[in-house]
Amino acid sequence: MSAKGRRDRKTLLYVAVLCTLLFVSSFIIGSYVAMKRPSGSFPAPPNAALGVVAVLLLNPLGPHSLILYAIAVLGFIHFKSWRVGKEIGRKSIPARDLDLQETLNRVAKEAGVENIELTVMDSSFPNAFVFKKGQKHLVAVTIRLLEMLDTDELESVLAHEVAHIRNKDRRVKIFGLIIGSNYFHLPFVLPLVKAIFRRREYLADETGTVLKGTPKPLISTLLKISEYMKSFSGSMDSYPSSISFSFISPAKSGLRKLLSSSPTIEDRIRNLMKLPL
């Protein structure tokens, strides 16, 4: 895998399955609505292709409704970004470690990412996330994370966040939010959308490993955070993944794990252990 990024086959597979199921479901629902209409209220189309289009459009939550949901989701993201931007401004502190900014610049250059800046958040929970502000990407890390990790481990976290930018995961997030909000009533949609989000987290780990050259520092980082979380009783106030992918999210199990946007730390470590050390 190139450090410049690549198409991820698992993501493409999930998207293909999701789109196929949506098409079939829309066709079935549209056909049902067409059959329920009074005779003569729906003129027969001149050919089969137009018939398929007409049936899909008859679905009350068909593809045409994506436009409205896209507008709503983009409006939500714009508002949420404004709120998070204000919160970042309120909780950020000057980044005194210039070497860390230089490390971020070097990793970003290797990944082909421009306009990137480091910011430090005043939080007791060890976390990191990437946030887009205008044309600039902000990579935020918390004070607690800086205190816990050594230089090599911090670099692996920065590589993970840069990988999210390199892999264009913000676009994936927007796509998932639009599809999930439009077709939430279909039982297969949310699990597939969440599976796509989890896959992007695995891919960020894998791409970050390529940028770093080895998975060992990232594995060490995840182990440290896992141990810390066992005794942590505070608030995970480091901006959950409604508009971005957080480095660490709350642990979940059972059905909540299936509907989680992030894999567990244990699953991420197992995935990293499969990579060349």
Band of the pLDDT at 196, cuts 50, 70, 90?
A: very high
The per-residue pLDDT for range 18-40, each reduced to its tens digit, is 989 987 887 776 666 656 655 54
Alpha-carbon distance of 227 to 149, in angstroms, equals: 13
Q: What is the dihedral of CA 224, 230, 233, 239, to 10 degrees?
A: 50
Residue 83 pLDDT exceeds 70: yes
Q: How far apart are the first and last CA of the chain?
A: 15
Task: Kindly report, residue by residue over 164-191, the tens digit of the pLDDT.
Answer: 999 999 999 989 988 888 888 889 999 9
Domains and CATH numbers, the chain: 60-273 (3.30.2010.10)
pLDDT in tens, 115-162: 999 989 888 889 999 988 888 898 999 999 999 999 999 999 999 999
| 155 contact partners, CB below 8 Å, separation of at least 6 | 103, 107, 212, 217
Closest CA to 130 of 121, 117, 143, 139: 139
State whether residue 120 is helix, strand or coil.
strand
Query: Judging by beta carbons within 10 Å of its beta carbon (0-12, 13-18, 19+), is residue 97 exposed, middle or buried?
Result: middle
From residue 74, alpha-carbon distances to 71, 137, 261 in Å are 5, 18, 19
Residue 117, strand partner residues: 138
Count each helix (H run) and each strand (E run) in the chain, helices first. Answer: 11, 4
**Cα 273 from Cα 43, distance rounded (Å):** 60
> Is residue 106 over pLDDT 70?
yes
Does residue 239 contact residue 84 with C-beta atoms inside 8 Å? yes
pLDDT band at residue 194 using 50, 70 and 90 as cut-offs: very high
Mean pLDDT of 74-99: 76
Question: What is the rounded CA–CA span in Å between residue 139 and residue 117?
Answer: 6
Q: Which residue has the higher pLDDT, 65 or 9?
A: 9
